[in-house]
Structure 1
Amino acid sequence: MSTEPDSSDSCGFASLDLVEPLLRGIAKAGFETPTPVQSAVIPPALDGRDLMAAAATGSGKTAAFLLPIMQRLLASPAPRAGTRALVLVPTRELAYQVLDHFHALGSYSRLTAAAIVGGDPRNHQVNALRRNPEILIATPGRFLEHLETGEVDLTDLVFLVLDEADLMLDMGLVEDVVAIITQAPAARQSLLFSATLHRRGVPELAAHLSRDPLTVTLDHHRSAHPDIDHQLILADDPAHKARLLHRLLMEADYERALVFSNTRAGAEAAAARLADLDIRCAVLHGELDQRERKRVMGLFRDGTVAVLVASDVAARGLDVPGVELVVNLDVPRSGDDYLHRSGRTGRAGRSGLTVSLVSAPEWNRMAGIERYLGLHVEQRTLDGLDALFRGAPKRRKPAKKAAARPGAKRAAGAAKAKPKAGAKAGAKSKQRLRDRKNIGKRRQPAAKPSGDGVEAGFEPPKRRH
């Protein structure tokens, strides 16, 4: 009995007019029907259109650009040509994820690919480039180094892809990306993919990449994954968060768990505390060299460790099956970061849970994330670990004014109109010096005018004879 995969199992992909080797690879990889982003992107990409595509994380963007590229390369082989497709990604983890997708989908084709990323030995990469792979998956900085030294040539480039373009902007990689684009042939097909196209800078980057691209937006950039539950637990301080994290990891039911910290130091400290409490875990952050990163990811993928504590370097490009729990030890810096962290779970049709530990200084940020994403985050507690912090205090409604008695408005108006006694004396009047001298003296009565115009009490001086 043959163990070869039956391409008819992927009848949904067969409707996209893909060649037989790719259909067999799709069936072997276990893909049954195209995701919405794949159905929307693959047909125009096969027609040669430039594209800007936005979709939620975990929606199948990688296969959406790999399949049409592989299809067109197989349809028009050029064995003596140089590199024909270049996929630029922001992180090493994402590069290896794309390479893994290529190996799965292209297992029945003769296409070749290589990853060119920072941290790997340069001599190994030079040897890989000399083998002239059809597809290169690279981080911009390291690829630009090889381009400037002449170890790679873009003369025969036909396809140029930017994946996670918004993260490239965040990481300050735009100058390297633009430098690479300017050396690529103008007659090429360009594809830009990202979970978010709305942010500032992405349209400008797309203008460098392509002209008049077709924009495909399936999910709003703020859409949370429907298969993920969101919870928050209030915490008082880092020590309280450590106890909550330990309880969560001890009591929750999961195959693999990801714990995110906002900083490298925070990730290392959390991993050290968990190790002291006999929880086997590994730590991943941007300061690890490539060899150590591969070792850590290998331990997590094969189940040697079930808990990975990471900084945001792993929020994108980390695609490990079986991640059922994501814990935000620190509230993410933005709603988009929250979306990418939580997107590491609930993948491939499986449900997931994201739990955020929220202290008082983080309350407003968490509330802003809920508003930004339109999320309903359930608040829960762990027995015996209740926080003294209870969340934002509820605002009191202003007391209703007592109903005015009949005629009260008229009386109030009259009182307001009538000047108060001594109103002028409210502020002390300035007394003149002569007024103070006359204190206690009897004041003369006011004089009345007489008929001859001489004032009473006034005697004119007598004339001298």
Structure 2
Amino acid sequence: MTKFSDLNLSPKVLQAIEEAGYTTPTPIQAGAIPSALEGKDVLGIAQTGTGKTASFTLPMIHKLARGRARARMPRSLVLCPTRELAAQVAENFDTYSKHVKLTKALLIGGVSFKEQDVLIDKGVDVLIATPGRLLDHFERGKLLLTGIEIMVVDEADRMLDMGFIPDIERIFSLTPFTRQTLFFSATMAPEIERITNTFLSAPARIEVARQATASENIAQAAVVFTPSRRDREASEKRAVLRALIEAEGEACSNAIIFCNRKVDVDIVAKSLKKYGLNASPIHGDLDQKQRMATLDGFRDGSVRLLIASDVAARGLDIPAVTHVFNFDVPSHAEDYVHRIGRTGRAGRSGKAFTICTPRDEKYFDAVEKLIQKEIPRIDNPVKVEAREERKSDDREEKKTSSRSSRSRSSSSDRKGSERASDRSADRSSDRSKSDNRSDNRSDNRQDNRPDYRRNDRNDRRDNNVVGMGDHMPEFIALSFDERRAS
């Protein structure tokens, strides 16, 4: 069996490895370290959790032990897709270079430019950065990449997913073509292969596992359920999640719960806290200080459940994670491999559970096709009796609501009928009063009329003037009389 002492590493590096508690390299380490020490380009393909970080940090420390960095011209560069992974790589350098005098700088977002500029101005042997922050420093004229001797791209497939490939190509063009390149990825998409063919020179290809496979140490299972109603799907999924955690009991000492959306990360975290579970969220919208504090709490055990988006799915080395729960089936099948790879690390066993609803079936089928393995289905841990009781409660609530509605409707009808009767009586009384007033007015008008209005029609027709009334001027009557006479 190969040991670290067989890999031709320097005694100081071996001492740091021994103090860290490691004696036997993983397959990717055993394959990549000798080629890297010989100065060859390396293309490492291995599933997550197999020790890729040490595969490049150990040979880099060995080779950089001799030499000195100049101001603003780092000697080596490590590119990482996320802040958390970059911070983790920096911790690995601190662990393995404790007996070697090397300087490093960490360039990530969420940290002041001024503090990073101070480190760069002093000169660093190892520069660990995310692509965006690295280019920000370069464009500000604070950084030169012409002194790069070793360049590392970690989690290259995640770089592709996050849209960093144009930045990676630009950074490659800013570094010397004589550099040594170490390129690591869990999967090899066509775009990743194109980059390796362009920027790597006759690389040593180390592939220790079939592409996109999950560790055999991880027991996988899936709960497939149909929600009672579409508007209850989210709440019922959270109930299934809680039941899964409770069913595992003390065996689930800590776990990472993955959601597809940042908003669901916060909702699930609040829900778990509401039911008395120790949970904290982590996603890209949180500031860097809060994210690092949450990760530190998860590592030291003060946080039991870490609810995360895929920002935490790649490369984070938290060796003692016992469980992974996929609250959502990932829309990209490759993310499933990286998610469950957070457990079952360094030879430990782990469990991974996935909650699947009918709308997730096409994504779930893609996952099984990718890993070339059928994921066992398990029964829904939420008790059937509880669901039936909830349905009964719902029916009773509907009945109660219906009875209340009918009661209100009947009461309303009675009140409406009474109001209608009252209004009818009022209208009848009003009409009676109106008729009485009308009769009185009619009698008064008849008493006040002139006598000719009470004559019959024939009598009125014989009068000299018809229809003109008593107020007719005399000259009009005279003119009529004269005409009649003629």
Q: Deviations over 1:229-255 (max 9, x none)?
A: 000112322221111111222332222
Query: Within 2, Cα distance between the matches of 1:153 and 1:189?
Result: 17
Question: Quick check: 102-111 or 80-89, which moved more?
Answer: 80-89
Paired position in structure 2 for 1:380: 378
Match of 1:359 among 329, 344, 357: 357
Paired position in structure 1 for 2:397: none
Q: Deviations over 1:106-131 (max 9, x none)?
A: 11111122211112111111122123
SS across alignment from 1:110: coil
Query: Within 1, Cα distance between the matches of 2:383 and 2:96?
Result: 48
For structure 1, which runs of at least 5 residues remain unmatched after alignment? 1-9, 389-465
SS across alignment from 1:323: coil
Query: Within 2, Cα distance between the matches of 1:128 and 1:111?
Result: 13
Q: Is the 8 A contact 2:240 2:382 kept in 1?
A: no
Q: Is the 8 A contact 1:257 1:307 kept in 2?
A: yes
Q: Is the 8 A contact 1:86 1:160 kept in 2?
A: yes
Deviation at 1:280, TM superposition (A): 1.6
Deviation at 1:337, TM superposition (A): 0.6
Query: Within 2, Cα distance between the matches of 1:383 and 1:168?
Result: 37
Question: Quick check: 54-63 or 374-383, which moved more?
Answer: 374-383
For structure 2, which runs of at least 5 residues remain unmatched after alignment? 228-232, 388-486
Say if 1:11 and 1:217 are closer, same or farther in 2 by CA, change over 3 A. closer
Whose Rg is larger?
2
Deviation at 1:364, TM superposition (A): 3.0
Paired position in structure 2 for 1:7: none
Deviation at 1:371, TM superposition (A): 2.4
Paired position in structure 1 for 2:302: 304
Paired position in structure 1 for 2:254: 256
Say if 1:368 and 1:177 are closer, same or farther in 2 by CA, change over 3 A. closer
Q: Which amino acid aligns with 1:288?
A: L
Query: Within 2, Cα distance between the matches of 1:18 and 1:121?
Result: 36
Q: Deviations over 1:9-44 (max 9, x none)?
A: x98111111111100110011111111111111111
Match of 1:105 among 72, 96, 108: 96
Q: Which amino acid aligns with 1:242?
A: R
Paired position in structure 2 for 1:436: none
Match of 1:68 among 59, 69, 76: 59
- Report 1:270-349 matches (<5 A): 270-349=268-347
Say if 1:11 and 1:112 are closer, same or farther in 2 by CA, change over 3 A. farther
TM-score by length of 2: 0.75
Q: Is the 8 A contact 2:243 2:382 kept in 1?
A: no
Say if 1:305 and 1:154 are closer, same or farther in 2 by CA, change over 3 A. same
Match of 1:186 among 171, 174, 177: 177
Query: Within 2, Cα distance between the matches of 1:315 and 1:21?
Result: 33
Aligned length, in residue pairs: 377
Paired position in structure 2 for 1:55: 46
What's the C-alpha RMSD, in Å, of the aligned pairs?
A: 1.8
Could you tell me the percent identity over the aligned residues? Answer: 37
Deviation at 1:55, TM superposition (A): 0.7
Query: Within 2, Cα distance between the matches of 1:33 and 1:200?
Result: 33
Deviation at 1:148, TM superposition (A): 1.6
Query: Within 2, Cα distance between the matches of 1:178 and 1:383?
Result: 48
Paired position in structure 2 for 1:265: 263
SS across alignment from 2:3: helix
TM-score by length of 1: 0.78
Q: Does 1:135 align with 2:126?
A: yes
Paired position in structure 2 for 1:213: 203
Query: Within 2, Cα distance between the matches of 1:200 and 1:264?
Result: 29
Q: Which amino acid aligns with 2:331?
A: R
Q: Is the 8 A contact 1:331 1:357 kept in 2?
A: yes
Q: Is the 8 A contact 2:68 2:125 kept in 1?
A: no
Q: Which amino acid aligns with 2:281?
A: V
Q: Does 1:19 align with 2:15?
A: no
Match of 1:242 among 238, 241, 248: 238
Deviation at 1:79, TM superposition (A): 5.0
Query: Within 2, Cα distance between the matches of 1:296 and 1:281?
Result: 10
Which structure has the highest helix share of the two?
Answer: 2
Query: Within 1, Cα distance between the matches of 2:223 and 2:131?
Result: 39
Match of 1:34 among 17, 25, 40: 25
Deviation at 1:186, TM superposition (A): 1.5
Paired position in structure 2 for 1:124: 115
SS across alignment from 1:316: coil
Q: Which amino acid aligns with 2:77?
A: L
